[in-house]
Structure 1
Amino acid sequence: MSQNPTIAVLKMMSLILLTIFYRMKTKVCISEEDSTINGATVGSHPDVERVRRAFQNDLETIPAFMIMSFFYLWVPVPDWVVHVLYYLFLVSRTLHSFVYAVYVIRQPSRAICFLIAFLILIYISVHVAIYGFIAGYLRV
């Protein structure tokens, strides 16, 4: 099986570290007790919020992809199709995070990256559903 779902999770975890980095850099924290550590202020900062939104966006697609990519392994498709879809999903999600949280590029770059990953997720999900329906129907 391709390791891409695992790499996607590691990419998500890197956004957590990036959030911490920006919180320390801007000296902004979310709770009163954290403000005593390095003289930080309680509140938000646009850089921190941008990374948090990128992470939230990952939470909207990557867990579903992990589940559906697992089931997709039982659908009879050529291995190269699985690899192309998984790698394309990983690349598009990584680029999405990069242009959202690290090096901001104006739209539609982020939207295109999101759409590619989202369409792959829809395709895999529909393919699994159709295969499951057909396989269940033929057994009866």
Structure 2
Amino acid sequence: MAHITDTEVFQAFSTYATIVILKMMLMGPLTGYFRVTRKAFANFEDTHMGKTIEEKKRMIRVNEDVERVRRCHQNDLENIIPFVVIGLLYTLTGPDLSTALLHFRLFVGSRFVHTVVYVMALPQPSRGLSWILGMVITFSMAYRILTTVLLL
């Protein structure tokens, strides 16, 4: 196992996986920021900014900006977790460093583009294309795993 963690591919994967995991983790505070600035909360106990019960009740609402960031965070969970699991297995197949770096960099770039496009509500197909790129990268790594170690 020590040999695997010493490889440049594993070190590159660790770097890029950490970047996207941190990006995903920052989506929670970003959602909170949007909730506070838009005064749109999901739970009554979060409405401490309201002075009266009526003000607090008005803050329990759905806001499109908050929902947009929340959906972006959900999309991160649905895509980054598979990337990390499949990427880890991919590093065990001994890919060329240049090919692995291409996979990792394109995935990370696609997730950052996806987030900016989603949060800023930029027109399609920009969000769809960035999502597709990330999925293709993850499927490409999965294909390499299956063709390298296929034991069916």
The alignment's TM-score, normalised by the length of structure 1, stands at 0.90
Query: Share of identical aligned residues, percent?
Result: 30
2:77 and 2:140 map into 1 onto residues whose CA distance is: 19
Q: What's the counterpart of residue 45 of structure 2? A: 33
Output the amino acid matched with 2:133: I
Where do 4+ consecutive residues of structure 1 move more than 3 Å? none
What stretches of structure 1 of length at least 5 have no aligned partner? none
Q: What's the counterpart of residue 88 of structure 1? A: 106
Please provide the CA RMSD for this pair.
1.2
What stretches of structure 2 of length at least 5 have no aligned partner? 1-10, 51-55
Instruction: Give the drift of 1:104.
Output: 2.1
How many residue pairs match? The answer is 133
1:48 and 1:65 map into 2 onto residues whose CA distance is: 26
1:15 and 1:99 map into 2 onto residues whose CA distance is: 14
Matched, 1:123 2:140: yes
Q: What's the counterpart of residue 47 of structure 1? A: 65
Q: Secondary structure at the match of 1:67?
A: helix
Matched, 1:16 2:33: no
Q: What's the counterpart of residue 6 of structure 1? A: 18
